[in-house]
Amino acid sequence: MAHAFTVKCKSKRWPLAMFYNIIDLSTIAAKVIWQAKLPTNELSHGDNRQLFIIAVARELILPHVQRRASIPTLNLPIKRNIDTVLTSLLPTPPRRASASNPQNPGMMVLHSPRSTRDVPSVLRKDRKTKICCPKCNRFICKDHTVIMSTNCSI
């Protein structure tokens, strides 16, 4: 039963091979307990052990992926990949891009993890900024920013 669906890969390191054996045996034990507790399940077709292993793996990686997404200095391609994984695992995507302004509770400001040139000032002055427009996602400096409350309607 352990050889039908395994997490093992070829390794010359015996601690890693032992770890793979522990994972295989624990998934078998978890599947047996799960079937004993819930005999009528939604995974009733033929490859239910493989689907069970995938579901367990998703549940195990979700806290790690969420914790890693909260790292502010993470590379942008990695953050994009984490966002795609989180949107596939969670029913509603997390709102990571916009954060409340602590000075004004009704304000929303977008911050980029890296400093980029201000789009309107590119040809005139070399201004670096981390602030993004929430509507068009273009980088803007303080001279081209208008502070407005989200409670006001224009």
pLDDT value of residue 105:
45
Higher pLDDT, 146 or 62: 62
Number of H helices and number of E strands within the chain?
A: 3, 3
Domain assignment present for 8: no
Both structure tokens of 24: 């295989």
**Statement: residue 25 has pLDDT above 70:** yes
Q: Is residue 104 part of a domain?
A: yes
Q: Do residues 45 and 79 share a domain? A: yes
Please write the tens of the pLDDT for every residue from 34-81: 877 776 655 555 557 777 788 888 888 888 888 988 888 888 888 888
Same domain (yes/no): 69, 41: yes
Residue 5 within a domain: no
Determine the structural domain holding residue 59 and report its residue range. 14-89
| Cα 100–Cα 105–Cα 107 angle in degrees, nearest 5 | 60
Same domain, 85 and 120: no
Q: How many domains does the chain have?
A: 2
Could you tell me the pTM of the whole model?
0.43
Are both 48 and 76 inside the same structural domain?
Answer: yes
- When pLDDT is cut at 50, 70 and 90, the band that residue 98 belongs to is very low
83 and 33 inside one domain? yes
